[in-house]
């Protein structure tokens, strides 16, 4: 799941008018009854990553130049307007709103609507890989005195895994593309 989908789901599910994400501040959910803030702040790096995952190339270029941008993101067929305003290099404001009915996902930046892409043809189900087959990991060395756990964390980062699972009864496993694999 894309990181921005977490917020977009809350926008749709909780029938919020908008969600305002500001670097290093708690998310603000705007309701008719008034705003509500989340408990934890959203780091600037996390905000940048969630926009980079979904923004069209033109929007990314606008952000690199310090300009504001707007585009449409689709959450399970529900279009969401994403407006990004970079205040400076370390502070962005991102606003999510439900797009008007009939709006389609942007082909470019600025919220210009485009024709939806044709639905992909279904592929036959792939055979499941053996989850106990180890993931190829580049050789990583520990510095003298460095904790052994750091080796697993570095290996996890090297293969771009999202989770590290450790147990006394199983070898270390990582989550790659939603699948658990032995590290």
The whole-model pTM stands at: 0.55
Q: Is pLDDT above 60 for 34?
A: yes
CA 98 – CA 80 distance, rounded (Å): 5
Contact 40, 86 (CB under 8 A): no
Weakest mean pLDDT among 67-76, 80-89, 138-147, 154-163 = 138-147
**pLDDT at residue 153 in the model:** 85
- The whole-number average pLDDT for the span 42-70 is 88
Q: Which residue has the higher pLDDT, 128 or 69?
A: 69
CA angle 164, 142, 155 (to 5 degrees): 30
- The whole-number average pLDDT for the span 119-136 is 60
**pLDDT at residue 167 in the model:** 86
Contact 62, 45 (CB under 8 A): no
**pLDDT at residue 109 in the model:** 35
Domain regions of the chain by residue span: 3-98, 129-183
Tell me, which fold does domain 3-98 have in CATH?
Answer: Beta-Lactamase (3.30.450)
User: Whole-angstrom distance between the N-terminal and C-terminal Cα of the chain?
Assistant: 22
Contact 65, 115 (CB under 8 A): no
- The whole-number average pLDDT for the span 3-18 is 84
Weakest mean pLDDT among 59-68, 75-84, 123-132 = 123-132
Q: Is pLDDT above 70 for 106?
A: no
CA 46 – CA 57 distance, rounded (Å): 19
Return the percentage of the chain with pLDDT > 70, whole number.
Answer: 78
Q: Is pLDDT above 70 for 75?
A: yes
Q: Determine which helix (DSSP H) or strand (DSSP E) holds 46, and give its type and residue range.
A: helix 44-54
CB neighbours of 91 closer than 8 A, spacing ≥ 6?
A: 22, 23, 24, 44
Which tokens is 18 given? 């908008």
- The whole-number average pLDDT for the span 19-28 is 91
> How far is the CA of 105 from the CAs of 2, 53, 96, in angstroms?
16, 15, 14
pLDDT tens, position by position, 117-127: 444 555 656 56
**pLDDT at residue 149 in the model:** 81
């Amino acid at each position: 799941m894309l990181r921005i989908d977490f917020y977009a789901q809350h926008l749709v599910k909780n029938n919020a008018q908008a969600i305002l994400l500001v670097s290093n501040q708690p998310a603000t959910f705007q309701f008719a009854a008034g705003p509500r803030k989340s408990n934890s702040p959203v780091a600037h790096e996390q905000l940048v990553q969630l926009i980079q995952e979904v923004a069209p190339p033109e929007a990314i270029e606008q952000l690199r130049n310090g300009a504001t941008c707007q585009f449409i993101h689709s959450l399970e067929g529900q279009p969401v307007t994403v407006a990004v305003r970079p205040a400076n290099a370390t502070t962005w404001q991102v606003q999510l709103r439900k797009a008007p009915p009939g709006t389609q996902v942007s082909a470019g930046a600025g919220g210009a609507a485009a024709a939806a892409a044709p639905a992909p043809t279904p592929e036959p189900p792939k055979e499941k890989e053996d989850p106990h087959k180890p993931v190829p990991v580049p050789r990583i060395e520990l510095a003298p005195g460095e904790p052994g756990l750091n080796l697993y964390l570095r290996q996890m980062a090297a293969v771009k895994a999202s989770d590290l699972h450790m147990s006394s009864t199983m070898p270390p496993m990582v989550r790659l593309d939603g699948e658990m694999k032995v590290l």
